[in-house]
């Protein structure tokens, strides 16, 4: 093969030799380095989260999460650690003017608090937890989401985010077997934690009964439900009830809801992650209520 027909990557032209040297150096680094090669590649060290927040406080991190907390008059913040870049992105020109203790730090300082696995984006706050509300505090809303022992904070946070996006008025959870407010949940909610009422009940079946009394059509999502969800939508108020992944809705919940319904999925996979199923169901319910 002549030089002018060499394939890319074959040593020939100066450019080819350059890329060949780069590939060789990369292989050497992955292999632990060789005499004369660049230092071996070392991943970023993992840092475990520091001590828990003081009693009654929760640590929230991430730009969207913290911005929403700053804008929420009901959120009582006691402390903030923020990098210069994050402060600029949050629009905080005068940190001294904030009504709580604020410290300008480096990202590694926040890593020591949240752990290096947390995507804190250069800011963390310590704030009082928001108190869940009782069912009788449910406002005049036409769409609510009810979770039957969904325990994964990532899923609950993602459901909160979708609930706010689709205009749901409240998220109802049980006092047991539900995640408490945390940095992980708040980060997954991307600020939605500050924009939706969180209602906590002791007995879910009783709560569903009270929703029926106030005019809600309660629909339990089940991959084996007897009817397509769109065909079960009725009335002027809808409560979507979802269970934990794996076990789904508990038997008592299945017996209490007005209807069991499935999302129509013609593909090879017949079920969705609970947060994705919630988003699809909320979209359909909102479209129905908007008619």
The C-alpha atoms of residue 68 and residue 161 are separated, in whole angstroms, by: 12
Alpha carbon distance 291, 283 (integer Å)? 13
Decide if pLDDT at 20 tops 80.
no
| pLDDT at residue 32 greater than cutoff 90 | no
CB proximity list for 80: less than 8 A, separation 6 or greater: 66, 98, 100, 101, 102, 103, 123, 124, 125, 126
pLDDT tens-digit profile of 206-250? 999 999 999 999 999 998 899 999 999 999 999 999 999 888 999
Q: How confident is the model at residue 30 (pLDDT cuts 50, 70, 90)?
A: low
**Residue found by looking up tokens 């969705």 in the block:** 272
Give the Cα separation of 92 and 119 in Å (integer). Answer: 20
Which residues pair with residue 227 across a beta bridge?
261
For residues 163 and 291, the model is more confident at: 163
pLDDT over threshold 80, residue 42: no
Confidence of residue 56 (pLDDT cuts 50, 70, 90): confident
Would you say residue 12 has pLDDT above 80?
no
pLDDT of residue 8: 46
Mean pLDDT of 42-59: 79
Q: Are 34 and 40 in contact (CB under 8 A)?
A: no
- In the prediction, which pLDDT does 117 show? 87
Is 216 in contact with 237 (CB distance < 8 Å)? yes
Comparing 3 with 85, the larger pLDDT belongs to 85
Give me the percent of the chain exceeding a pLDDT of 90: 73
How much is the pLDDT for 281? Answer: 97
Residues 6+ apart with CB under 8 A from 223: 248, 262, 263, 270, 271
For 19, 23, 67, 99, 101, the CA distances from 80, given in Å and listed in that order, are: 46, 44, 12, 10, 6
CA torsion angle 248 253 254 259 (round to 10): -110
DSSP state of 244: B
For 82-121, write each residue's pLDDT tens digit.
999 999 999 999 999 999 999 999 999 999 999 988 999 9
- For position 228, what pLDDT does the model report? 94
Q: With a cut of 50, say whether residue 2 has pLDDT above it.
A: no
Neighbour count for residue 228 (Cβ, 10 Å): 13
What value does the mean pLDDT take over residues 136-147? 95
Structural domains present in the chain: 57-128 (3.30.1330.30), 135-289 (3.40.1280.10)
24 pLDDT higher than 60: yes
Structure tokens at 136: 């009788």
Q: What is the rounded average pLDDT of the residues 25-50? A: 61
- Helix ranges (DSSP H) in 31-147: 63-71, 84-89, 107-114
| pLDDT level of residue 3 (50, 70, 90 thresholds) | very low
What is the reported pLDDT for 5? 46
Confidence bin at 271 (pLDDT 50/70/90): confident
* C-alpha to C-alpha distance for 69 and 91, rounded to whole angstroms: 14
Distance CA 224, CA 263 (A): 9
């Amino acid at each position: 093969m002549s030089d002018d027909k060499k394939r890319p990557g074959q040593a020939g032209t100066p450019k080819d030799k350059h890329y060949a040297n780069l590939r060789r150096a990369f292989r050497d680094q992955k292999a632990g380095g060789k005499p004369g090669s660049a230092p071996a590649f070392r991943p970023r060290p993992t840092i475990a989260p520091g001590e828990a927040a003081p009693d009654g406080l929760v640590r929230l991190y991430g730009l969207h999460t913290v911005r929403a907390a700053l804008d929420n008059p009901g959120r009582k913040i006691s402390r903030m650690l923020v990098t210069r870049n994050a402060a600029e992105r949050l629009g905080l020109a005068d940190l001294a003017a904030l009504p709580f203790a604020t410290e300008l730090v480096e990202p590694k300082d926040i890593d020591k608090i949240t752990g290096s696995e947390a995507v804190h984006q250069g800011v963390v706050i310590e704030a009082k937890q928001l108190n869940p509300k009782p069912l009788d505090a449910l406002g005049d809303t036409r769409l609510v989401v009810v979770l039957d022992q969904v325990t994964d904070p990532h899923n609950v946070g993602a459901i909160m985010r979708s609930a706010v996006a689709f205009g749901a008025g409240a998220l109802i959870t049980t006092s047991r077997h539900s995640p408490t407010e945390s940095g992980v949940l708040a980060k997954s909610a991307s600020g939605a934690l500050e924009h939706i009422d969180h209602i906590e009940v002791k007995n879910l079946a009783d709560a569903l009964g009270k929703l029926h009394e106030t005019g809600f059509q309660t629909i339990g999502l089940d991959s084996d439900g007897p009817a397509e969800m769109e065909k079960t939508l009725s009335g002027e108020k809808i409560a979507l009830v979802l269970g934990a992944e794996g076990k789904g809705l508990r038997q008592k919940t299945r017996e209490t809801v007005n209807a069991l319904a499935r999302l129509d999925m013609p593909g090879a996979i017949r079920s969705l992650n609970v947060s994705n199923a919630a988003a699809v169901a909320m979209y359909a319910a909102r479209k129905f209520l908007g008619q």
